[in-house]
A and B are shown apart, each in its own frame.
Chain A
Amino acid sequence: MKTENQLESANVNMARRSFLRYAGAGVAAVGVLTAASCSKNHDYIPPNTTAGVDLGATGDLAILNYAYALEQLEAAFYINVAAHMYTGASADEIALLTDIRDHEVAHREFFKTALGTNAIKALTPNFSAIDFSSRAKVLAAAQAFEDTGVAAYNGAGYLIKDAGYLLLAGKIVSVEARHASYIRNLVNPGSFADTTILDANGMDVAKTIAQVLPIANTYLTTKVSASNYGYVAS
């Protein structure tokens, strides 16, 4: 598998080192993650199953893994959309939805590569609630994913301790907002930033981790918890 080959390359390892400038903190957090999982569930959770994952100890690795989880979900969704394109899509719509798919896949791979061994496992999505043959259903889901993504990044920004990571989150969230604007206008022209999502100050409304993960988990077989940020998947 290509990605694994890349992960093995010295080049990417270098990149990972520079990304995880606080490597010591990273290693420590993994230990805490395992310990937290064990104490929480009183038994060992084997890797690579559909058992849930926890973002682990509070800190930047947890927030980066939170972003990684959301990007995994978005990438999987748009891969499905593009692979089973609903009827009635214009050429322009197909082109731009394919662009969005490629952005989300790049975000997913970015976090996976950057987090390296600190990354949570690949999540198994469950999109059984979405009728991919229906334009209205697909776009409604896309709108929810994008708006939730924006609210999630906005809400987690202050939890990030490292300015470099905060900037990276900032670089991604505005692209998610660009997606949201486009999808919203496909659903309802002119709704790119309407009062159903903005407050009276013309600002997006940030969501906490504990607000976002239950929404994400409705589309995940692998449930994501953030026990140290006040949310455990039921």
Chain B
Amino acid sequence: MNLLGIIEEIEKADPEFQDRISPRRAAIKNITSFGSKVAVAAMPFAFSTLLKKAYGQTATPSVNDVLNYALKLEFLESAFYNAGVASNISFSASEKAYLVTIQGHENAHVSFLQSVLGSAAVAQSTQGTNGTYDFTAGGTFGNVLTNADTYFAVAQAFEDTGVRAYKGQAGFLLGNKVVLTAALDIHSVEARHASAIRQVRRARGSATTKPWIVGANDTGIAAVNGNYAGEDNVVQGGVTITNLAGVSGNVSLNAATACFDEPLTSAQVVALVAPFGVK
């Protein structure tokens, strides 16, 4: 790997590269001088870490990055409920009322995030194809806007994923009274929605669906396995929940997985929602 050659190439494309990595020059020197000693396999990793730092693609996004990420997800959700409510799917009156309530919240979340971000807000038109999403996710959910069961299944995946997405960002807003509290106040509403959609699916005959996530993917839909990856975790803060005393015997595996929701990273979420057109 010709590291110095790569840096030269980057400088041609980005004359400010040296400025970007200015605080890291010592690191560059170290890499150069220790080049012969560092295992070849480790070099690409070390270099990519350096580039991530130079270009801000680190594990600590800015507050605006977090808010725009949230906004993109809220754009998707609001468009999904707007489409569902406007569709010809034969929802019952109570189902329709649930959807209208959630639709109102998702649209309000969009407006709120846009108002907070101001001119830094990403434009909805950048999403999907000129702002229009593919709710079938490339045909995976072909009848999503004509079949109520498919619609609610996708709604559940969106809500549960939304909860996981917000949760995964909380640490980046640590100690931020205004923004973290706002994010948490949205996060718990998404969880109320997720529970409500799950209640609807349970009432429609999906008997194994509970208002909470039991085990990993409890939807019965393999296409959303990724949305529930890791939800079967039973170790929290170093404590194995199934080793704790329950009411009779230890806490069950089902209860242990259901009583803690799990986060997703932005990279995981972006990959999950990309088929719908989120960019």
Contacts and interface: CB of A to CB of B under 8 A. Distances in A.
Tell me what chain A mostly uses at the interface: helix, strand, loop, or mixed: helix
B20 interface: no
Interface in B206-262: 210-212, 236-241, 243-247, 251-252, 255-256, 258-262
Given A6-B243, A102-B259, A177-B195, A157 B167 contact: no
A28 to B, nearest CB: 20
Given A106-B244, A166-B171, A201-B108, A158 B212 contact: no
Contact of A201 (B109, B198, B256): B109
Nearest to B102: A193
B105 A202 contact: yes
Nearest to A165: B237
Contact of A110 (B188, B236, B258, B261): B236
Contact of B181 (A105, A158, A172): A158
Contact of B237 (A6, A18, A106, A205): A18
Nearest to A162: B174
A137 to B, nearest CB: 22
A131 interface: no
Interface in B41-65: none
A139 interface: no
B188 A204 contact: yes
A167 B170 contact: yes
Given A114-B237, A182-B211, A203-B189, A193 B180 contact: no
A176 B105 CA distance: 19
Interface string B162-181: 01000100110011110011
Contacts of A103: 212, 255, 258-259
B255 A102 contact: yes
B187 interface: yes
A155 B199 CA distance: 27
A189 interface: yes
A57 interface: no
Interface stretch (B6-14, B93-101, B127-135, B146-154): B93-101
B260 A172 contact: yes
Interface in A1-51: 2-3, 6, 11-12, 14-19
Interface string A141-182: 000000000100111011011011111101111111111111
B192 A19 contact: no
A2 B245 CA distance: 7
A177 B186 CA distance: 11
Contacts of A178: 191-192, 194-195, 198, 211-212, 261
A158 B108 CA distance: 23
Contact of A202 (B112, B238, B239): B112
A223 interface: no
B193 interface: yes
Contacts of B94: 189-190
Nearest to A92: B202
B239 A19 contact: yes
B58 to A, nearest CB: 15
B238 A14 contact: yes
Given A109-B245, A171-B167, A175-B259, A96 B188 contact: no
Contacts of A219: none
B111 interface: yes
Contact of B192 (A96, A102, A165, A192): A192
Given A102-B259, A109-B251, A185-B196, A200 B238 contact: no
B184 interface: yes
A142 B247 CA distance: 19
Interface-central residue, B185, B186, B240, B258, by most chain A CB under 10 Å: B185
A198 interface: yes
A171 B256 CA distance: 12
A58 to B, nearest CB: 13
21 contacts: A6-B245, A15-B237, A82-B247, A102-B251, A104-B259, A106-B251, A106-B259, A110-B237, A114-B238, A114-B239, A157-B170, A160-B175, A174-B163, A174-B188, A174-B190, A185-B199, A190-B94, A198-B105, A201-B111, A202-B189, A206-B181
Given A3-B245, A109-B251, A153-B184, 7 more contacts: A15-B238, A99-B210, A99-B255, A158-B176, A166-B171, A181-B199, A192-B98
The 3 closest A-B pairs by CB, nearest first: A202-B105, A18-B238, A202-B108
Interface of B: 94, 97-98, 101-102, 104-109, 111-112, 163, 167, 170-171, 174-177, 180-182, 184-196, 198-199, 202, 210-212, 236-241, 243-247, 251-252, 255-256, 258-263
